[in-house]
A and B are shown apart, each in its own frame.
Chain A
Amino acid sequence: EAQVTQNPRYLITVTGKKLTVTCSQNMNHEYMSWYRQDPGLGLRQIYYSMNVEVTDKGDVPEGYKVSRKEKRNFPLILESPSPNQTSLYFCAAGSGGLGSGNTIYFGEGSWLTVV
Chain B
Amino acid sequence: AQSVAQPEDQVNVAEGNPLTVKCTYSVSGNPYLFWYVQYPNRGLQFLLKYITGDNLVKGSYGFEAEFNKSQTSFHLKKPSALVSDSALYFCAVRDQGTTSGTYKYIFGTGTRLKVLA
Contact = CB atoms under 8 A, between A and B. Distances in A.
Interface residues of B, number: 28
Interface in B44-103: 44-46, 49-52, 90, 94, 96-97, 101-103
Contact of A98 (B43, B97, B109): B97
25 contacts: A4-B43, A35-B107, A41-B109, A42-B6, A42-B90, A42-B109, A43-B110, A44-B107, A45-B105, A50-B103, A56-B102, A58-B104, A92-B105, A97-B97, A98-B103, A101-B50, A101-B52, A103-B34, A103-B46, A103-B49, A106-B43, A106-B44, A107-B43, A109-B42, A109-B43
Given A42-B109, A90-B43, A48 B104 contact: yes
B102 A104 contact: no
B42 A108 contact: yes
Q: Which of B44, B50, B52, B96 has the most CB of A within 10 A?
A: B44
A92 B106 CA distance: 13
A45 B49 CA distance: 20
Query: Mostly helix, strand, loop or mixed at chain A's interface?
Result: strand
Nearest to B34: A103
Interface in A67-115: 90, 92, 97-98, 101, 103-109
Contacts of B109: 40-42
Nearest to A58: B104
A33 interface: yes
B67 to A, nearest CB: 12
A9 to B, nearest CB: 9
Contacts of B36: 106
Nearest to A103: B46
